[in-house]
Amino acid sequence: MLSKNIESALNKQIRIEAESSQTYLSMACWAEVQGLEGIAQFMYTQSDEERAHMLKLVKYVNERGGHAQVTDLKAPKTTYSTFKEMFEELYNHELFVSQSINELVHITFEERDYASHNFLQWYVSEQIEEEATAKSILDKINLIGDDKGGLYLFDRDIQQLTVTSSIAINPK
Ligand code: FEO
């Protein structure tokens, strides 16, 4: 059984994951209308992953005697001045999510809720991966600079990254 405090902290995280999903969906739309197909696909996949993160929390809260809350969400921004700015926001957003997960882990430890503490370890590992992916994408973008040919290749490469990561998520 979840304590009220942990239930509410988990619900806060549900909202953050839902907002992350909306944010990446909005980034996908912007990239798509710019003709950046590969980047758009990457963002659509990211958005789906965030929804999966949210659902995993929803199920956990409901299974442990809590009540997962589906709430209104903060609307994400819809335009970006450059795709570099967009990926910087993605990276900073993931740092924010990691911090939020860390705080959540801390609360479960303080309350000696070892089941929730154990459940959240999956999110801790996931955040390490998400931060690393976002960072390596940003490094690539910094290498490209303003080179249009570089952007074309980057857009193609990132599509490959999407295929690889969706194989990693859904191994046959
Ligand atoms: Fe669910 Fe990207 O954090």
* Residue-level pLDDT at 161: 73
CATH number at residue 95: 1.20.1260.10
pLDDT grade for 70, boundaries at 50, 70 and 90:
very high
Taking only the tens place, the pLDDT of each residue in 78-133 is 999 999 999 999 999 999 999 999 999 999 999 999 999 999 999 999 999 999 99
User: Which stretches within the chain are classed as H helix?
Assistant: 4-33, 37-63, 83-110, 114-144, 148-169
Atom of ligand 1 at shortest range from CA of 130:
2
Question: Does 170 have pLDDT greater than 60?
Answer: no
Q: Ligand 1: distance of its center to the CA of 50 in Å?
A: 5
Helix pair 114-144, 83-110: axis angle to 10 deg? 160
| Cα 106 → chain centroid | 20
Residue type, 82: T
Q: How many Cα atoms sit within 13 Å of 159 on the Cβ side?
A: 12
- The number of folded domains in the chain is 1
Q: Which domain holds residue 17?
A: 4-169
Atom of ligand 1 at shortest range from CA of 94:
2
Average pLDDT over residues 44-72: 98
**Exposure class string for 140-149: b at 16+ Cβ within 10 A, else e:** bbeebeeeee
Rg (CA), the chain: 17
Mean pLDDT of all residues in the chain? 93
Residue type, 99: Q
Q: Ligand 1: distance of its center to the CA of 148 in Å?
A: 30
Question: Does 167 have pLDDT greater than 60?
Answer: no
Question: Does 148 have pLDDT greater than 90?
Answer: no
**Exposure class string for 52-64: b at 16+ Cβ within 10 A, else e:** ebbebbbebbeeb
- Give Cα separations from 33 to 30, 78, 112 (angstroms): 5, 11, 49
Q: Ligand 1: distance of its center to the CA of 4 in Å?
A: 24
Which pair of tokens denotes residue 121?
């370890």
Please check if 130 is assigned to a binding site: no
CA dist 68 and 63 (Å) reads 10
